[in-house]
Amino acid sequence: MVWLVVGLGNPGDEYAATRHNIGQMVVDHLAARHSAGWSAHKSRTEVAAFKIGVGIDAASIIVAKSRSYMNESGGPISALAAFYKVEPSQIIVIHDELD
C-alpha cells in the first residue's frame, strides 16, 4: 500500500518558521527520521520516500511538500497523487488549522 503524506506551507525564508509551515516542518522531520532524501518532482513538489513495516505488510510512504504557496498547492499535489496512483483515501495532509 502507498500513502502520500503532504506537508503544506509557503516557500521562502520569510515563512520558514511560521505556523503556516508546520506541515512542511512535519514532513521534513519524517524524512530525516527515516533517512529519506528529498528530490524535485515534475509536479512542482519535492518528494522523499521510505517504507514502514516489514514483509508484505510494509507500506510505502511518500512525503511531499509543494514548491508553491499553500493556497495554490492543490494542483501540484493532485498531479503528484495521479503520478503515483494514490487514491484520495490514502492521502494525509498536514497543515495549520485555527478554526
Asked whether residue 54 carries a pLDDT value surpassing 80, the answer given is yes
pLDDT score for 98 = 67
pLDDT score for 56 = 85
Residues labelled catalytic: 20
Please determine, looking at this structure, whether the domain spanning 2-94 carries the CATH number 3.40.50.1470.
yes
Instruction: With CA atoms as reference, report the closest residue to 33 among 23, 25, 44.
Output: 25
Q: Which three cell numbers stand for residue 66?
A: 509543494
The model's pTM is 0.91
pLDDT score for 97 = 81
pLDDT score for 58 = 92
- The total of other beta-carbon atoms located within 10 Å of residue 22's CB is 16
- The string of pLDDT tens digits covering residues 2-51 is 999 999 999 888 988 898 899 999 999 999 999 999 999 999 999 999 99
Q: Where are the domains of the chain?
A: 2-94
Instruction: With CA atoms as reference, report the closest residue to 21 among 57, 67, 52.
Output: 67
